Amino acid sequence: MFSKILVANRGEIAIRIMRACEEMGIATVAVYSELDRDALHAGRADESFLIGPGPAVESYLVVEKIIEVARESGADAIHPGYGFLAENAAFARACEKAGITFIGPPADAIDAMGSKTRARELMEKAGVPIVPGTTDPVEDVAAARKVIDDTVGYPVAIKAAGGGGGKGFRVALTEGELEDAFEGASREGEKFFSDGTVYVERYLPDPRHVEVQILADTHGNVIHLGERDCSVQRRHQKLIEESPAPAVDDDLRERIGKIATEAAAAVDYVGAGTIEGLLQDGEYFFLEMNTRVQVEHCVTEMTTGIDIVKEGIRAAAGEALGYTQDNIELRGHAIECRINAEDASKNFAPAPGRIGSYREPSGPFVRVDSGVEAGS
């Protein structure tokens, strides 16, 4: 097991990882930007290091600086959390090159699932159901139009190959909307992911967004921990998640769980990950894989009693999973609500600022995962 872990993140997920490490007897190292000097995560870790100015591109996204701090502090592993470098295959390879364990899947698995077109191709070959559409990038509007006319049909979703989090996603209900949708998705893909490549997928107008939590180790074991329903979204970003999913019965749970574990095994996955899919009319289609711990992992922990963050750390250390599929039992029901700082009068635009007062709810079966306090 690791003796010291550097947490390459901030906020709620950094606190969550540090809490798991404390309970496992593992020392922690925090990194922080100049704007986060007084942040909770910087004060909670055993050691804290300044890594740069406020902008993430000058601090939390600087691979060389984080590796340097890991070496200086003597950390033998790095946990990326979610966001920032969590799904960056180059970062995973940099850790490996430096002799530091990356707590997450192998870089090749991140590569495979990071490109939506490559992931769709791999899943199709593995026999995993995918939404009808292309597995290769579509070069231009004319090519997209031909594919749609020949095989997909309207309405269609135009998606950035490297997209995620609702970015690089446009819908064309008719041919007249195709050009704007194509250009919009490509433009956002280039802006947010440095990749303007797009692909075409049939747009499912009213699906349930159902994802399956998986855990895998280096010994070939892959299990699933049931599903979460994340259908309540705004601008394709999740707001409320719950487990078990109301629309999923035992038979469907077994079926989509098998799809998820087969998808993870197809890329030799290790650690905690999530297979996201769309459920419509009893059919389940692979959407994408998030090669990291999810924001909404909490609801699965509450219904299974399994600490997903700890299991991910153990898997990265080479330990076998402490559970088999037969051990997994869902008990009760959990609902998670994300609290965001937004301005409702401006179409819920982000509204950052200082928190004047802050008091968390408490009581039986109430859980709060946070990274802020009054004055933050």
Q: Which residues are catalytic?
A: 292
Residues pairing with 105 in the sheet: none
Strand order in the sheet with 47-52: 47-52, 27-33, 4-7, 77-79, 101-102
Element (H, E) at 28: strand 27-33
* Side chain identity at residue 126, one-letter code: A
* Side chain identity at residue 191, one-letter code: K
Residue 286 half-sphere exposure toward CB, CA atoms < 13 A: 31
CA distance 244 to 229: 7
Task: Determine how many CB atoms are found less than 10 A away from the CB of residue 354.
Answer: 7
DSSP class per residue in 41-77: HHHHSSEEEEEESSSGGGTTT-HHHHHHHHHHHT-SE
Cis geometry, peptide bond prior to residue 155 (ω within 30 degrees of 0):
yes
| 235-245 per-residue burial string, b: 16 or more CB within 10 A, e: under 16 | eeebbebbbbb
State how far the alpha carbon of 54 is from the alpha carbons of 228, 323, 350, in Å.
34, 41, 18
CA distance 119 to 199: 12
Q: Tell me 85's DSSP state.
A: T
Helix, strand, coil: what percent of the chain each, to 5? 35, 25, 40
Q: Which residues contact 37 (CB under 8 A, 6 or more apart)?
A: 50
CA distance 71 to 99: 9
Task: Determine how many CB atoms are found less than 10 A away from the CB of residue 35.
Answer: 13
Give the tokens for residue 50: 């300044």
> In this structure, are residues 288 and 116 in contact, taking their beta carbons and an 8 Å threshold?
yes
